[in-house]
Chains A and B, each alone.
Chain A
Amino acid sequence: SQQGEEDPQALSIQEGENATMNCSYKTSINNLQWYRQNSGRGLVHLILIRSNEREKHSGRLRVTLDTSKKSSSLLITASRAADTASYFCATDPPSGGSYIPTFGRGTSLIVHP
């Protein structure tokens, strides 16, 4: 079963607009990560946010985490055509032991030039 689920499944915007996608998860976590996947390629790590952090920035990316709602959001500001990709959140397992990245189904983002 998948721990994290991204929403919406698909998002289509114009270049220059902001893109927001969300991730909801079921059980407590230690950290949450966001990844990007360009068509036909492997996933690339974007950003990690710890459970004791509420917001984190990296360039045009802004990630928020609300542990009370078990949700996270990824905001891409001033989007570019090159941001067209699928975006996944990953959480660590709910119990202790080995760290195993567990992914949702992803949000497919299309940025029109």
Chain B
Amino acid sequence: NAGVTQTPKFQVLKTGQSMTLQCAQDMNHNSMYWYRQDPGMGLRLIYYSASEGTTDKGEVPNGYNVSRLNKREFSLRLESAAPSQTSVYFCASSEFEFSYRGPGTEAFFGQGTRLTVV
């Protein structure tokens, strides 16, 4: 199983450029998430999709948009990149949605995209 696949692995952008980070999972998971990880800040949730067709803002959504293209794919778009968006971005997925609790809610992560905005 490939699990969660993110592309690209590395990217350098100039301020003001746009780009889309791609994420795909092959585990038939309902929920997908985008996080960013900065030194000393841990992982912060940008957007999530509890199920196909729905998306919601997380803790730090400003400057980003997302699309849940289908059950497998969840993309993150930076419309006008800023140096403050320099970070490592992780996509994750989990099997269950909504109020289910317990085994099965563990998240599976991609390998990350290291983005630098200059």
Contact = CB atoms under 8 A, between A and B. Distances in A.
Contacts of A102: 45
A97 B42 contact: no
Interface stretch (B12-20, B72-80, B96-104): B96-104
B102 A98 contact: no
Given A48-B106, A104-B42, A105-B41, A42 B100 contact: no
A31 B105 contact: yes
Nearest to A103: B43
A62 to B, nearest CB: 18
Interface string B7-36: 000000000000000000000000101010
Interface in B74-118: 90, 92, 94, 96-103, 105-112
B87 to A, nearest CB: 14
A2 interface: yes
A48 B102 CA distance: 8
Interface string A3-33: 0000000000000000000000000001101
A98 B106 contact: no
A92 B101 contact: yes
Interface residues of B, number: 34
Interface residues of A, number: 28
Nearest to A96: B99
Interface string B41-84: 11111001010000010110000000000000000000000000
B50 A45 contact: no
B98 A31 contact: no
Contacts of A31: 101-102, 105
A99 B44 CA distance: 15
13 contacts: A31-B105, A33-B105, A35-B107, A42-B90, A42-B112, A43-B92, A45-B107, A48-B106, A90-B107, A92-B101, A101-B94, A103-B43, A105-B42
